[in-house]
Structure 1
């Protein structure tokens, strides 16, 4: 068996071999991450309660919100490094990386200073729709979490660099390790410390932060030593090159967050904190489709950059066909999970929460459509054709919130999920058509930007 696996991994184009190795190792690690995530849900709910757990989910979703403030530096840097490697011009990579770290450090300090200055005067309990009978002071929790986010904001740049050199499995090692440390820490809390949302935030945020710091120090001493950042190489004049495409990525990230990561907050405001837990459980169950699909396509972003830079369109076309087949297989698996979803909820959660069948169906359709859209977005991002994506996501995000509010008030959580699905379905059609035109070398005007 070992010989068969090795033979498969070493077969094909150099670019393909690198992708297969990344996917194989990442799958092994993600299997552990999935198990940890599923164990964390009931463990965390039992440690606090469904209301506090809903608040934790909403607060933790801010990770995605604040990540956009890198003004597209992460994705711009990723493309610039991958392109430089493809054309064998790596002389400026260290300068790009050092400057990116410097800029993100300045931005993160600014974010925390602004938040610290104004947050004390806001009624956070009202903003998060927390009943005063819950006796929760959310302000110090938010202050700690935002401080953590600002540090994570700078350190997460390592993920873009790892992806650019086509070593994305290392990101999975970092994630798995931080999740494992978090799981062990929460388990220890359940044994010795009474339920506390405050301690939960400290432990979950702190475990991730420690792991990524240690991982970054190790990588810059070993695998990425040639690209190790230094203040000596900071050169703000090279920032314009990173932001040439990074600026568009920044706008896309902002509206992606509005489109994807505001659901927790919308459910919270329309239906209350406990409804966030009701939303999260089927989302976590069916998100295995998008999660597994993301594992597979993650190495392709920079690989598409490399292939497009070297005019290898045949390789791109063949691999898109394979990825579409993978999407179909995962979607069929999602249908099977839907059929047995009631049983799976009982085995997994073992609580009084009853998940409506229509919510499970809506979540299945959402992750299927989202994954198809993501496939073509990765191609467009890799080849730098993102102008149409920029316009489309701005329009989609603009319509998503009023549509979600309208359907949410009428159909509850199912309505909010369905609003996302409708928007992503329309975007998927546009991006699929654009890919077809580009790969057949028939793209002109907006389709080629």
Structure 2
């Protein structure tokens, strides 16, 4: 089965940028380990892992807007889109104040923040204030400008790598606090650039932001976004608690080990997410045109791609006990048995995402939300049980894998039903 040329170009271009970004990330890890030391590196990766949690505060509105932007390419109607974007930006600004409040309260409940208070403020304050700019990611994806987005993210990674290289080799004098400041500064600059460019493509009228009636006009999209929010929250609970729970239940050096292993498996997930992002836009496009044949073709292509990635993951896992010590200059060592929960989880994710992307594009989210929320309720107690019985750093990925098995079965079945029920 041949892929559509535009899809192929997006996948190839985005993959090239992602490969480059992954290489940059792989180079940065041992350099940062060397510069910070194992303990401070463990603290660093624990705190930066929590940055992803900020994304839930858009309450799913970004995903809803992405669908509408893609559909507007078919309908050629940009007038309502201007209103929708303005209302969503206004919502993001309000959400920023909520994030600041939650961040302040988090010091009372999250040990990693409380024990590193000054570092946390330096790291998170610019990231939080830049939250409205992150809407640009969804708009660019909706416009199917994937290569542009990934180029800008690669540029951010390169600037970060240059900083780490200069710091690691003593060319510039930094400490973990200055590193956090530079991290936040790069985050703000790149996200603002993506935000500004995305709105320029749509010829967005900035004065629309002052019309607060748009917030009410976009309420339907925001309500759909509420279901995406529950999926986002559940996803973070299932896949982003590893560093934090390892920090709480084991030792800081174990966090460094967990994060290093996780980074390698995330490379495959990063490439796969590029494909999912491209297919999401194409599925929304085919849905708007009511092309069932193209939708079924896309489904089959994604399943074959999932199988290919699964086999690749198993091959990489086999060699990881040799790769990781070499990569980290002997600082971190792992055993093959420690990798099995990670492999189990990643393979399930590949196939689950292949079905879920159709439900997301069709905005048929209720069943997926129920299963995901149920799984997120049990992730902490199940992972704690696995820590208790000695599973070690594989506790969280093993718990996540077990809990998303029902979702995998559901989304593969339901995605077929969504396509069949499409009225031509």
Return the TM-score normalized by structure 2: 0.92
Distance (Å, rounded) in 1 between the aligned partners of 2:363 and 2:243: 31
Partner of residue 420, structure 1? 400
Partner of residue 25, structure 2? 37
Answer with 89-98 or 31-40: which moved more.
89-98
Residue of 345, 350, 354 corresponding to 1:375: 354
Contact 2:136 2:194 in 1 (8 A): no
Distance (Å, rounded) in 2 between the aligned partners of 1:294 and 1:193: 35
Contact 1:377 1:431 in 2 (8 A): yes
- Determine helix, strand or coil for the equivalent of 1:352: coil
Partner of residue 403, structure 1? 382
Contact 2:13 2:147 in 1 (8 A): yes
Partner of residue 57, structure 2? 69
Partner of residue 134, structure 2? 156
Cα separation, partners in 2 of 1:114 and 1:249, compared to 1, 3 Å: closer
Distance (Å, rounded) in 2 between the aligned partners of 1:114 and 1:340: 42
Q: Tell me by how many angstroms 1:98 deviates.
A: 1.6
Cα separation, partners in 2 of 1:424 and 1:147, compared to 1, 3 Å: same
Residue of 294, 298, 314 corresponding to 1:319: 298
Residue of 39, 43, 49 corresponding to 2:37: 49
Q: Tell me by how many angstroms 1:151 deviates.
A: 2.6
Q: Tell me by how many angstroms 1:226 deviates.
A: 4.8
Partner of residue 82, structure 1? 70
Contact 1:270 1:408 in 2 (8 A): yes
Q: Tell me by how many angstroms 1:406 deviates.
A: 0.3
Partner of residue 296, structure 1? 275
Answer with 370-379 or 86-95: which moved more.
86-95
Pair 1:197-2:185 in alignment: no
Q: Tell me by how many angstroms 1:441 deviates.
A: 3.4
Partner of residue 203, structure 2? 225
Contact 2:325 2:331 in 1 (8 A): no
Is there any run of 5+ residues in structure 1 with no aligned partner, and where? 1-7, 131-136, 444-449
Q: Tell me by how many angstroms 1:45 deviates.
A: 0.7
Contact 1:44 1:186 in 2 (8 A): yes
Contact 1:129 1:272 in 2 (8 A): no
Partner of residue 310, structure 2? 331
Distance (Å, rounded) in 1 between the aligned partners of 2:70 and 2:253: 44
Partner of residue 207, structure 1? 186
Contact 1:182 1:204 in 2 (8 A): yes
Contact 1:77 1:96 in 2 (8 A): yes
Q: Tell me by how many angstroms 1:388 deviates.
A: 0.4
Distance (Å, rounded) in 1 between the aligned partners of 2:388 and 2:85: 46
Q: Deviations over 1:117-138 (max 9, x none)?
A: x577x486xx1299xxxxxx61
Is there any run of 5+ residues in structure 2 with no aligned partner, and where? none
Answer with 407-416 or 156-165: which moved more.
407-416
Distance (Å, rounded) in 1 between the aligned partners of 2:210 and 2:159: 35
Distance (Å, rounded) in 1 between the aligned partners of 2:349 and 2:21: 21
Distance (Å, rounded) in 1 between the aligned partners of 2:113 and 2:343: 28
Return the TM-score normalized by structure 1: 0.87
Q: Tell me by how many angstroms 1:419 deviates.
A: 1.0
Contact 1:18 1:166 in 2 (8 A): no
- Determine helix, strand or coil for the equivalent of 1:311: coil
Residue of 341, 363, 376 corresponding to 1:362: 341
Contact 1:112 1:146 in 2 (8 A): no
Q: Tell me by how many angstroms 1:228 deviates.
A: 6.0
- Determine helix, strand or coil for the equivalent of 1:156: helix
Q: Deviations over 1:371-410 (max 9, x none)?
A: 2111211111011111100101011111111111101221
Contact 1:82 1:305 in 2 (8 A): yes
Distance (Å, rounded) in 2 between the aligned partners of 1:257 and 1:123: 17
Residue of 365, 390, 395 corresponding to 1:386: 365
Q: Tell me by how many angstroms 1:233 deviates.
A: 5.0
Contact 1:74 1:160 in 2 (8 A): yes
Cα separation, partners in 2 of 1:79 and 1:168, compared to 1, 3 Å: same
Contact 2:67 2:361 in 1 (8 A): yes
Distance (Å, rounded) in 2 between the aligned partners of 1:311 and 1:123: 48
Partner of residue 24, structure 1? 12
Distance (Å, rounded) in 2 between the aligned partners of 1:299 and 1:150: 28
Residue of 95, 102, 108 corresponding to 1:107: 95
Partner of residue 4, structure 1? none
Q: Tell me by how many angstroms 1:213 deviates.
A: 1.9
Q: Deviations over 1:242-301 (max 9, x none)?
A: 113111111221222111111111111000221111111111122232121111121121
Distance (Å, rounded) in 2 between the aligned partners of 1:229 and 1:39: 44
Residue of 82, 102, 112 corresponding to 1:128: 112
RMSD (Å) for aligned C-alpha atoms: 2.4
Moved over 6 A (4+): none
